[in-house]
Structure 1
Amino acid sequence: MAKITSPEAAKRLARTIISDIAIYNRQKILDGIKNDNLFDLLKEELDEGYELYCERVDQSIVSSSNYYNNAIVDILVKRSGDIESGIW
């Protein structure tokens, strides 16, 4: 399979991967935000997602952008702003 060379396609892939993580790990996200250990709870899933992202996206895009991390913030963190937590 050819690597993704379009920045827009790389952004979409990152958002898709993080969206899937969010869908299948809703309880971990709730617990992680409430207890301020979100990234510890999702470490395995986020690492696996990043590996997939790196496999599919051209290295020049991976090394020159933060699309994957931006997707984590936009999808996992910002969308969870309604969860009561001491971190807000």
Structure 2
Amino acid sequence: MARLVDNPELAFRLARAIVSDIALYNQDKVREGIMKDNIFELLGEEIEEGREHFRSRIVPDLENPDHLFDRAIVDVMIKQAGKIESPIW
């Protein structure tokens, strides 16, 4: 069994890797979600599955794990889609 991550910086890197995989395997949904401003509805299941995977890989008492995962979503999925035409920009 893999060792659980207890360092917030490493946990953030893990979150970014997980979100990167979600974005990679769901490129069409990301594009559509940005264009239609409903990315969290379109990718809700995938994001929740990624969040659960993230939680399973970190120590239970890590401070603000949801904040780290949400930041990774913004950094990896949202910011990198900035070139997509959207009403949210």
Per the normalisation by structure 2, the TM-score is: 0.91
Per the alignment, residue 82 of structure 2 pairs with 81
SS in 2 for 1:60: coil
What displacement does 1:86 show?
0.8
Q: CA RMSD in A?
A: 1.1
1-10 or 38-47: bigger deviation: 1-10
1-10 or 43-52: bigger deviation: 1-10
Q: How far apart, CA to CA, are the structure 2 residues paired with 1:59 and 1:72?
A: 21
Residue type at the aligned position of 2:16: R
Per the alignment, residue 70 of structure 2 pairs with 69
Name structure 2 gaps, 5 residues minimum: none
- Structure 1 ranges of 4+ moved more than 6 A: none
Per the alignment, residue 22 of structure 1 pairs with 23
Name structure 1 gaps, 5 residues minimum: none
Residue type at the aligned position of 2:68: Y
Q: How far apart, CA to CA, are the structure 1 residues paired with 2:16 and 2:22?
A: 10
